[in-house]
Amino acid sequence: MSLRDFKIDVPDGDIEDLMRRLRATRLPAALDAGQWDDGASLAFIQRMRDHWLNRFDWRVRQARLNRLPQYLATVDGADIHFVHQPGSGPAPIPLVLTHGWPGSFAEMERVIPLLADPAAHGGDPGDAFHVIVPSLPGFGFSAPPRAPGVGARHVAELWLKLMKGLGYERFAAQGGDIGASVSMWLARRFPASIIGVHLNYIPGSYRPPLGPGLPPVTAQEQAYLDAAAAWTSAEGAYAAEQSTKPQTLAYAMTDSPMGLAAWIVEKFRTWSDCGGDVERVFPMDELLTDISLYWFSRSLDASFRIYKENRWQPLTFEACERVAPMLGVAAFPHELPTPPRSWVERVFNVQRWTSMPSGGHFAAMEQPELLVEDIRAFFRPLRSRRA
């Protein structure tokens, strides 16, 4: 595996092009500029555009991200960008953290030091991890796929090769959103290499086997299925588009930074525990850092297309199929519809299920300390089984 150091260095021309496009933005009308019922608020988008043009400094944010130790690895002929923060403790275990959409590797910025060096943050050095945070193919600074087939199932194989290339024969996995799918596929496909899996989201595509000879759906499980269907009807248009016609969507988002911003920021507001005020949880500079990473990647088609790939290869299971590695779940109250523990236990070996007091879909950004403590607690008894 080819490995080399990496520093983010967006060309001046790309930044100038972004500023030009922002200045030339043509905004739509709205029946009520302040409301979010029809999508991203016009008033908020106007204020975001002004901040992006006049106050946001990409070079400052770039320098901050470059404090993270970053690398490029060539895996199966494609460059994968990742952060690799060695742990400080008596016996750190390797942990691959996988982000989702509309997140990026940057959403792990605050949890990386807590996981890698717990003693420096009031924790037990025995809880240390070697932290690896790859960017999904086509996200951030990872190269986009050159052919169909690169969904969460295939990404799990890429992560296995990356981790083994780094010298980690067995490792732990954690993720939310698409990262949860990747982590579940790692456990399913490569159980001998996985110490355990911790999730802060259960993918909507996860379906255990049902039917004759298997336990019937419980009332609690049916309530979840009904809630998930209602959520898809009310909030799932983005996923329907990205999983069916991602290329069409990519034309608009590749050409309009404010179109991209509106598409993303609506999700940060709707999916988070922000009480309707997205900046109460995510400062404007933090939002724009994430959006800028998508913009500068120039591979929006790939970041949308992974939804289509995942639709083709969903997390469905055969009758009596069981996944061996132990699973832990941190269930945040403002997450997308979350199934009951029994639904996951039909396939997975669930050892820990924590109902968190606050937080939503972007747990690593919203509640980094709560998430980290649950990760530490889940893996504590598994450390002796790492060999």
Q: What percent of the chain has pLDDT over 70?
A: 99
SS3 5: strand
Average pLDDT for residues 225-254, to the nearest whole number?
Answer: 97
Average pLDDT for residues 223-239, to the nearest whole number?
Answer: 97
Please give the angle made by the CA atoms of 199, 378 and 227, to the nearest 5 degrees.
35
Contact 24, 15 (CB under 8 A): no
Angle between the N-to-C axes of helices 12-23 and 42-54, in degrees from 0 to 180, rounded to the nearest 10? 140
79 is catalytic: no
The yes-or-no verdict on residue 80 having pLDDT over 90 is yes
> Could you name the CATH architecture of 2-23+71-382?
3-Layer(aba) Sandwich (3.40)
| Cis peptide leading into residue 102 (ω within 30°) | yes
Quote the pLDDT of residue 1. Answer: 81
Q: Please state whether 213 falls in left (phi above 0), alpha (psi between -120 and 50) or beta.
A: left
- Dist CA 264 CA 358 (whole Å): 22
301 is catalytic: no
Instruction: Tell me the pairing of strands 2-6 and 70-75.
Output: antiparallel
Residue extents of the structural domains in the chain: 2-23+71-382
The yes-or-no verdict on residue 303 having pLDDT over 70 is yes
- Dist CA 229 CA 232 (whole Å): 5
> Among the options 177, 273, 290, 374, which is catalytic?
177
Quote the pLDDT of residue 2. Answer: 86
**Model-level pTM?**
0.97
Predicted confidence band of residue 387 (pLDDT cuts 50, 70, 90):
low
Token representation of residue 50: 């002004």
Average pLDDT for residues 295-310, to the nearest whole number?
Answer: 96
> Among the options 154, 168, 361, 374, which is catalytic?
361
Residues 120-145 have pLDDT tens digits of 999 999 999 999 999 999 999 999 99
Quote the pLDDT of residue 385. Answer: 67
Token representation of residue 52: 């992006």
Place of tokens 């199934």: 339
**Please, what is the average pLDDT of the chain?**
97
> Among the options 201, 206, 294, 307, which is catalytic?
307
177 is catalytic: yes
Residues 337-369 have pLDDT tens digits of 999 999 999 999 999 999 999 999 999 999 999
Task: Return contacts of 277-285, CB within 8 angstroms, 24+ apart.
Answer: 278/44, 281/362, 281/365, 281/366, 282/362, 282/365, 284/48, 284/51, 284/56, 285/56, 285/61
The yes-or-no verdict on residue 386 having pLDDT over 80 is no
